[in-house]
């Protein structure tokens, strides 16, 4: 088992999604509000389509287990959401 995998109590293997993203220089990026199809009064709050972006440097996880995506957009270009995104299919929250 690699350092990025952990055995769960029921014997299954858990792979940390941040470790799967670490080292990537291109990521698929989408606002989580758009990905969840959240609506208000029957209208979508955000219609941000997934896009592939190139990072300034490879993604990495620091000693405090925070994911860093150098050069990523700071907010959604459609709705302005600065916090929650889908990155390569994993939900990532920035605070």
Q: What is the pLDDT of residues 12-61, one digit of tens each?
A: 887 788 999 999 999 999 999 999 999 999 999 999 999 999 999 999 99
Instruction: Report the pLDDT value the prediction gives residue 3, as an integer from 0 to 100.
Output: 47
Going by their DSSP bridges, the two strands 43-44 and 67-68 should be labelled as unpaired
C-alpha to C-alpha distance for 1 and 17, rounded to whole angstroms: 15
pLDDT at residue 95 tops 60: yes
C-alpha to C-alpha distance for 43 and 30, rounded to whole angstroms: 18
Q: How confident is the model at residue 5 (pLDDT cuts 50, 70, 90)?
A: low
C-alpha to C-alpha distance for 17 and 58, rounded to whole angstroms: 15
C-alpha to C-alpha distance for 46 and 40, rounded to whole angstroms: 10
Instruction: Report the pLDDT value the prediction gives residue 12, as an integer from 0 to 100.
Output: 80
C-alpha to C-alpha distance for 72 and 80, rounded to whole angstroms: 14
Instruction: Let me know: does 68 contact 61? Beta carbons within 8 Å.
Output: yes
Instruction: Report the pLDDT value the prediction gives residue 87, as an integer from 0 to 100.
Output: 97
């Amino acid at each position: 088992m690699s350092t990025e995998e952990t055995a769960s109590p029921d014997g299954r293997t858990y792979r940390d999604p941040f470790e799967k993203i670490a080292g990537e220089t291109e990521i698929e990026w989408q606002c989580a509000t758009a990905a969840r199809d959240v609506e208000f009064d029957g209208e979508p709050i955000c219609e941000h389509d997934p896009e592939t972006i190139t990072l300034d440097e490879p993604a990495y996880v620091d000693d405090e287990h925070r994911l860093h995506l150098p050069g990523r957009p700071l907010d959604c270009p459609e709705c302005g959401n600065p916090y929650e995104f889908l990155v390569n299919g994993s939900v990532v929250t920035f605070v």
